[in-house]
Structure 1
């Protein structure tokens, strides 16, 4: 019974760890989703800025601004925007890889927890079967013991009856012996008198 309780406690502990792991997975997924959305928005902003720069460049060219100056400014702005975009994409890629690693680790933990839960459930079922078997054997033993006690009580009662009968017969035997001796003595006396 104690082992079954211990197995139930272990199973509850594994289930608790499994639940905590699932909560960790959910938290990591939400965090990564939030970060991915943020990076997506940043990328979208950078794309808009890049488009805006291109539009400004077109306007400068149409307005007749100094071509080399406009081109140089635009080139610098494009380089800055491209650098920001590349940095954001690199960061997004790193975070995706980190997320995949964390996801893989969490999935492994979930698989381990599920395996442990299955093992605990199997052990508990086995212990319950053993308990049922031992309970059945104990009940059989109790039945046999009870029957044996009943047979012993019956035997003892029969022995007591026999002892009483033997005592009664011994008493009757003594009485008959006494009567026989008395009768025999009287017969001897009577024979003696007749002979005289």
Structure 2
């Protein structure tokens, strides 16, 4: 019977040892390497202490039956404890599996977020490059339109100066024409007076009077012809000046219309540039907010 009790004790001890080792291996597989040695040391001390307690308890018993009953109870307790440990290990493994899945999911989401952030940064750099290109093109277009406006303004001012000079010349010619008309009127009056004097003197001498009358008529006819020719020349010059003035006025109106068009284009480009600046500011704000959220995450 002592041999039988010894076999049972060895079997209990062997089973307990195997179960404890399995539990320890399962626990060690889920613990961190840093805590592994500490827990092994604690487990070893605990096992040694349990063995000592069991030996003390067995030594305190008198009969083999009592020792066997105590060993069976101890074995039953160890089996229950082992079952609890296995349940704990399974629960821990399940939690570990869930944590591992969560970790993999978080790593996947993090990789996606990093890739998305990289793509967004690339898109933002491309957007900034395109915005800079559009900005430079807009500024160049505005400078070109400003140069055109200045050129048109200079041409308009030059044409206006030419028109002013032409009007001044026209006024001078009109003044000269008035003076010439006055002079011709004075000459005609003088000729008439001379004709009257000669007519009076010719009353004394019919033949001389006739000759002087013919001479006066000839001079008068010549004066009228010269006056008519001069008047015709002045009228032609006046008509030409009026035509030139009309042409310059039309050119002036065209230049004014061109200047108004250029000013409206400059205003349009300026508005578009302001809208572009506002869109760029909003884009930078959105990117800054997204970048801040990405950095927080």
Into which bin does the TM-score normalised by the smaller protein fall?
A: 0.7 to 0.9
- Does residue 269 of structure 2 align to residue 131 of structure 1? no
Write the distance in 1 (CA, Å) between the matches of 2:216 and 2:200.
14
TM-score, normalised to structure 2's length? 0.50
Q: How does 1:1-196 map to 2 (within 5 A)?
A: 1-58=146-203, 60=204, 70-162=205-297
CA distance, structure 2, for counterparts of residue 95 and residue 57 of structure 1: 32
Larger Rg: 2
What is the CA distance between 1:16 and its match in structure 2? Answer: 0.8
User: For 1:83 and 1:32, how far apart are their aligned partners in 2?
Assistant: 25
* Alpha-carbon distance in structure 1 between the residues aligned to 2:220 and 2:199: 15
- Separation of aligned partners in 2, 1:106 and 1:100: 10
Q: Which moved more, 1:1-10 or 1:88-97?
A: 1-10
Query: Structure 2 unaligned runs (5+)?
Result: 1-145
Alignment partners' CA distance in 2, 1:56 and 1:39: 25
Distance 2:202 2:207 in 1: 10
| Structure 2 CA distance for aligned equivalents of residues 38 and 97 of structure 1 | 16
Provide the C-alpha distance between the structure 2 equivalents of 1:21 and 1:109, rounded to a whole number of angstroms.
8
1:116-175 Cα shifts (integer Å, max 9, x gaps): 01000001111111111111111000000011011111111111111xxxxxxxxxxxxx
Shift of 1:18: 1.0
Q: Deviations over 1:85-123 (max 9, x none)?
A: 111110000011001100000000110011001000001
Give the structure 1 partner of residue 85 of structure 2.
Answer: none
The corresponding residue for 1:180 is none
1:33 Cα deviation from its structure 2 partner: 1.2
Structure showing greater relative contact order (alpha-carbon pairs closer than 8 Å, 6 or more residues apart): 1
Could you tell me how far apart the structure 2 residues matched to 1:20 and 1:112 are? 14
Structure 1 residue runs of 4+, over 3 Å off? none
Shift of 1:57: 2.5
C-alpha distance in structure 1 between counterparts of 2:222 and 2:182, whole Å = 16
Q: Structure 1, residues 20-66: CA drift from partner, whole Å, max 9, x if none?
A: 111111111111111111111111111111111122233x2xxxxxx
Root-mean-square deviation (CA, aligned residues, Å) is: 1.0
User: Residues 198 and 212 of structure 2 are in contact (CA less than 8 Å); yes or no, is this contact kept in structure 1?
Assistant: yes
